[in-house]
Chains A and B, each alone.
Chain A
Amino acid sequence: MTRSATPKLAGYAGLSGVGLLTALVFVRPEVVALTAPFLLALAAGLALATPPKLAAGVGVERERAIEGDEVGGHVVVSSSTPVDRLDLYLRLPDGVELVDGTNPVALRLAAGESRRLDFTLRAAHWGAYVIGPLYLRARDPLGFLVWEQTAATRSDVRVYPREEVLQRIVQPRETQVSSGNEVSRRKGEGIEFADVRPWAAGDPLNRINWRASARGGELWVNESHPERNTDVIFFVDSFAEARRGREGTLDLTVRATSALADAYVGRRDRVGLISFGGILRWLAPGAGTVQLYRMVDALLDTEVILSHYWREIDVIPRRTLPPNALVIALSPLLDPRSVGALLDLHARGHDLAVFDVSPVPFTARPQGKLDAIAYDIWILRHDALRHRLQRAGIAVAEWNDDAPLQAAVEEVRAFRRYARHARV
């Protein structure tokens, strides 16, 4: 706790000193009469000033919330000494708004009194937030001294992005060996009919196709496609973003990644994350709800960090990009390093789909003639970049906040269904 004097203390002390000196010099009792009230106030104020002994804490009802949720919280403050005026200010981060309650607030505490102040916050934007710190400022009854303290306790709130529900997702070309919901292209034990073949020793009787056997004069058995799981790796481009106000391409990227990951985890697929940017982060593939939480937590910490280091995909740990995994890249295609990495991934044979999180809605066409031309050229170059990826055989869909994510997913699905493989 730090103690400091207010300007009032210096002012009154100065007035008292000057007044008494003037009284002595001019020998006028009136001067003492003018000075005495200030001297009295000063003496009374300092006599009544007691250093406060405060204890304070901040708490929130829950540590996890979805965008738009309201979260209750409270501040508890107590003092073993009387505090005539106590100012409390709880610092709230951007993205969290106060809905109910007062902040800052001034109150009075008697000796031994404890007060609880309730408030309601609204999680306006996804992210990992720290509620606090709580600043306390106590004053003596006459306002000569101020004690300031910062409460050490803080509360964390993780706000998850509001997810879009997807009806269909991008299907990978290859499946893994574990059971899942994706019908494999390979033949094996499963439900979906694949083909018929001549009977071989060891084939169970219930797989014999009696109709085909009667026509062919020998035993034929049905073959089927097994249901397998898949590995999906989300490649989040965090090299650069376009931002206007509180919304930017990174926000859309996080929302889309979260929605897609939720859909894949629901199908018992394994999901992983590579945040490719100024700082490389990754999460090895895993399945289940815990993995989904891990992924979203990792996404909340994603931020654009400026870096001039030329990063290539060699820096990505090998186990985070398992063979036959579907790589879903979400990128505003603003940085040549990320575009190069995508082409490199495709050239190395990874199954790749790209969601171009369009930066165009976050920009405005300039008024000046030359600036407007430059802007148009930039848009054309961005389109050309997308077409370059498509020409390489990569499924690319442009997506912005105005359109549902499902539309972009369908565009990628259609491209992958009809496109031919191309060599790059």
Chain B
Amino acid sequence: MKVGAVVSGLVATLAMGGAVIAFSTSASPYVTIEQAKRSTGDRLHLAGLIDQKSIRNDVFTRTLRFNLKDESGQSIPVVHRGEMPTNLSEAKNVVAVGGVKDGVFESSQLIVKCPSKYEADKNANGASGQAK
């Protein structure tokens, strides 16, 4: 039983240690625009308010452009290439996943959070969409 306990302990430590290391090194950080500009990562998560007026969707080249404002009030142009979210027109908050190149945030994934239909600030669950 003693050997068993040692092996179990070892496995548990390795498993937890491995997971913590993997998460610490590879989890995708949420960033502000300021941090995004300084980072070289390409899976940065930039959350912000979408400027509905700035949305340009070129369906032929499948390129979506818009401006995103983060919590600090800073704004950055975003170019999204990839799958189009289905419900962008009703979105306020989006998370763009990607990295900054030449002052533009190049996004490969857009996670759209929809304000629910009826309760602007007290919304129901479920009404949401995700572009994967």
The yes or no verdict on A and B being binding partners is no
- Measured CB to CB, the residues of B under 8 A from A are none
